[in-house]
Amino acid sequence: MSIALDYAEKLIAAPSVTPATGLVFDVMAQMLSPLGFEVHRFVTGEAPDGPVENLFAIRRGPAGSKHFAFAGHLDVVPPGNDWTSAPFAPEIRPSPGGDLLHGRGAVDMKGSIASMIAAAHDVPADAGTLSFIITGDEEGPAVYGTRALIDFMREHDMEPDLCLVGEPTSVNRLGDMMKIGRRGSVNIWIVVEGTQGHVAYPHLADNPLPRLVAIMAELDALVLDEGTDWFQPSNLEITDLEVGNPAHNVIPAKATARLSIRFNDIHSGASLSERVAAIAEKHGGAAKSIISGEPFLTPPGEFSRIIADAVEAETGIAPEASTTGGTSDARFLRAVCPVIEFGLCNATMHKTDEAVAVADLDVLAKIYARITKAVLAG
């Protein structure tokens, strides 16, 4: 059995539905310590979003050497029902394209973390400083995870020069895509207050629904932008409308809506929040926003070239540089250093019977080792 496969099976076998603590971090620490890593673990946060465990492991190179970091998460989404096998009992099954390892987290992202640790076996300790930035709070609110790790790194003066996040970025085959940026995300709740009353006496009531409809119509008609050289157009999506009125003859007292905006680097979360709030206020409503992350871009350059060269050397294909998809913890890490995401095929992430190609684990470990050696030698 390969090192990467062995590690992937052990990590999958440690249940870690978000927010994660305990056993799965024990397992990872036991993999890193024999390789010379100092392993730092700490728990932050309280219910309902915590507690959350985080791990920062570092193997220091010679004084003045470069510092390269792998980043990722050990928490997973709930497995759901109708799995062919137990979601936390890793199982290898044959398939027409080669053996598949099934289990929750196989691709998102315990498989990538297994390949990262396997890659560390092939990187000499004197090549430079190598670290792991690992959280148990990425699939959840992400309140007590990577941001707490960033505070820890800054407090101890251990920020990396470059960081690779192991999210499953590949689409059709391993290596066909890396993410050099991501759009930002903001969720906004709109409330319109009225006065409850009988539908036969509307002059004695104040119906909030027409005003909410007017707000939604204006928001739905917005064209935020046409996209940029590296980002697709921003989009605003209405995700919920609620009145909660069980009576057919009652004008409701309140109506609410929720919307989500994924936006490129033309905008900021604050500017979009202010724009939506102004529209809501014009029609007599109020808006409250939570900004999940700002857009970021690591422009194509030496770091992306190193990754592309490593991928092509091991797979024969050149990865597309993309900014598509949802958010990841790279949105926080970009404040520390340049960051790019690259990992396994994402077709089964969050799905029932999540699975990774066994062969891809070893190939990914070789790619990660090439990237690490090239960055540290630079």
Q: What is the mean pLDDT of residues 33-61?
A: 95
pLDDT of residue 317: 97
Q: Just list the catalytic residues.
A: 75, 138
Q: Which residues of 347-364 are buried (b: 16+ CB within 10 A; e: fewer)?
A: ebbbeebbbbbbebbbbb
Tell me: the pLDDT tens digits for 312-329?
Answer: 999 999 999 999 988 899
Within 10 angstroms of residue 297's Cβ, the number of other Cβ atoms is 18
Q: How many domains does the chain have?
A: 2
SS3 label, residue 19: coil
Sheet arrangement for strand 100-102: 91-93, 100-102, 355-357
270 and 371 co-located in one domain: no
pTM: 0.92
277 and 306 co-located in one domain: no
48 and 151 co-located in one domain: yes
- The token pair at 270 is 């604050």
Q: What are phi and psi of 250, to 5 degrees?
A: -125, 130
139 and 230 co-located in one domain: no
pLDDT of residue 159: 98
pLDDT of residue 50: 86
CA Rg value for the chain? 23
237 and 310 co-located in one domain: no
CATH, residue 309: 3.40.630.10
CATH, residue 227: 3.30.70.360
pLDDT of residue 49: 84
113 and 259 co-located in one domain: no
Final residue before a domain boundary, out of 293, 324, 351: 293
Angle formed by the axes of helices 110-121 and 358-377, nearest 10° = 50
Q: How many CA atoms lie within 13 A of 198 on its CB side?
A: 2
Position 336: which residue type?
V
| Domain region containing 237 | 184-293
